[in-house]
């Protein structure tokens, strides 16, 4: 496994002609969710590149950029065991040098849902991912479905800009009690860890309602909201959208997906699930 700490080093990698390069972009502090993406990439690619970059452009000044968990040595040890070929670990100064002025914005879908409370977030994500794709030059990129909006925004970007990269969405990896794995779960203190399971419970309860014949989005959302409020967790949003374009739906069909964001104490967690299992 080669560790490349600068953009020119990564750009200079000469992949053998015809080899299929799979790419997993991460912000490090790897957990089983990330590792499942690496496994998917290893399975379907000839060469695998993982990037580790805590992207300042996707954090608002009030957010957790400085305290975002980092452990490069532990990340490398995990990736070593998984047949990763290259780890790209650039610095923020190199990614955004003085005078940097170019941003990518996927209109509309970047400003709903999580974009309401994090208005600049997806601009930062789209920009860094486009830069990473240009530098790494993969055929496929592997992303978790946990940030479903991110996945949709990046699929739209690659399609709109004719990047010719396949974006592969991979299933959410959960703890035994259903909590979606996330680097931010680390911030949950004391009883918040138990309270945090209410997102999963609200999603599975919504699935059950749909299976029992309830198809009115409004009613399903109201039940989910009640379940979350009963756990004393503060809802940011609960929406049912068409998973193909994030538009809100009134009646459930096979494309419907519930997306939730909520503050469990200080940490803001997100989760989602298709409503037609």
Q: What amino acid positions are annotated as catalytic residues?
A: 34
Listed ranges 24-32, 171-179, 211-219, 253-261: which one lies at the site for ligand PAF (CB under 6 A): 24-32
Which span sits near ligand PAF by CB under 6 A: 15-23, 25-33, 62-70, 155-163?
25-33
Q: Which of 4, 22, 26, 45 binds ligand PAF (CB under 6 A)?
A: 26
CA 273 – CA 275 distance, rounded (Å): 6
Using CB under 6 A as the binding criterion, the count of chain residues that bind ligand PAF stands at 10
| Closest distance to ligand PAF from the beta carbon of 115 (Å) | 13
Smallest distance from the beta carbon of 147 to ligand PAF, in angstroms?
6
Q: Which is nearer to ligand PAF, 75 or 147 (CB)?
A: 147
Q: Which two tokens stand for residue 64?
A: 């957790």
Instruction: Report which DSSP code applies to 183.
Output: G
Residue 260 found at the interface with ligand PAF (CB under 6 A): no
Query: In the chain, where do the E strands start and end?
Result: 2-4, 21-26, 47-52, 86-88, 140-144, 166-170, 234-242, 256-263, 268-274
Chain residues 56-95 in contact with ligand PAF, contact rule CB under 6 A: 58
Pick the closest to residue 233 from 265, 188, 275, 186 (CA basis): 265
Residue 34 or 257 having the CB closest to ligand PAF:
34
Stretches 21-29, 191-199, 214-222, 251-259: which one binds ligand PAF (CB under 6 A)?
21-29
Binding pattern for the stretch 143-182 against ligand PAF, x by CB under 6 A and - elsewhere: ----x--x--------------------------------
Long-range contacts of 107-115 (CB under 8 A, 24+ apart): 109/149, 109/152, 109/153, 109/156, 109/245, 109/246, 110/153, 112/149, 112/246, 113/149, 113/237, 113/239, 113/241, 113/246, 113/259, 113/261, 114/147, 114/149, 114/236, 114/261, 114/270, 115/149
Contact status: 220 vs ligand PAF (CB under 6 A)? no
Helix (H) or strand (E) run with residue 127 in it: helix 121-136
- Tokens 């479905």 belong to residue: 145
Binding residues among 93-132 for ligand PAF as defined by CB under 6 A: 125, 128-129
Least spacing, CB of residue 183 vs ligand PAF, in Å = 8
Q: How many Å apart are CA 50 and CA 241, to the nearest integer?
A: 31
Answer whether 10's CB lies under 8 Å from 132's CB: no
Point out which residues pair with 258 in neighbouring strands: 240, 273
Rule CB under 6 A: say whether 55 interacts with ligand PAF. yes
Give least dist CB 91 to ligand PAF, A. 14
Smallest separation, CB 143 to ligand PAF (Å): 7
Cα 100 to its chain centre, rounded Å, is: 25
Looking at 25, 90, 169, 243, which residue binds ligand PAF (CB under 6 A)? 25
Which residues lie near ligand PAF (CB under 6 A)?
25-27, 55, 58, 125, 128-129, 147, 150
């Amino acid at each position: 496994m080669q560790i490349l700490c600068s953009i020119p080093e990564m750009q200079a990698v000469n992949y053998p002609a015809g080899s299929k390069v799979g790419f997993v972009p991460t912000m490090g502090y790897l957990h089983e969710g990330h590792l499942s993406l690496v496994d998917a990439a290893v399975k379907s690619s000839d060469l695998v590149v993982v990037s580790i970059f805590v992207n300042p452009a996707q954090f608002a000044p009030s957010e957790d950029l400085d305290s975002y968990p980092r452990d490069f040595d532990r990340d490398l040890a995990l990736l070593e065991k998984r047949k990763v070929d290259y780890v790209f670990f650039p610095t923020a100064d190199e990614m955004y040098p003085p005078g940097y002025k170019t941003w990518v914005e996927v209109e509309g879908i970047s400003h709903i849902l999580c974009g309401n409370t994090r208005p600049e977030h997806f601009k930062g994500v789209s920009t860094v991912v486009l830069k990473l794709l240009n530098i790494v030059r993969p055929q496929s990129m592997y992303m978790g479905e946990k940030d479903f909006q991110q996945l949709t925004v990046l699929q739209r970007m690659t399609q709109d800009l004719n990047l010719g990269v396949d974006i592969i969405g991979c299933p959410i990896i959960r703890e035994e009690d259903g909590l979606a794995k996330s680097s931010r779960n680390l911030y949950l203190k004391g009883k918040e860890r138990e309270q945090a399971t209410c997102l999963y419970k609200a999603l599975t309860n919504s699935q059950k309602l749909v299976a029992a014949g309830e198809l009115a989005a409004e009613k399903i959302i109201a039940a989910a909201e009640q379940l979350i409020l009963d756990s004393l967790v503060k809802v940011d949003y609960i929406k049912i959208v068409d998973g193909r374009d994030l538009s809100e739906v009134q009646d459930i069909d096979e494309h419907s997906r519930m997306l939730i964001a909520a503050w469990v104490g200080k940490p803001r967690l997100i989760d989602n699930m298709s409503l037609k299992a």
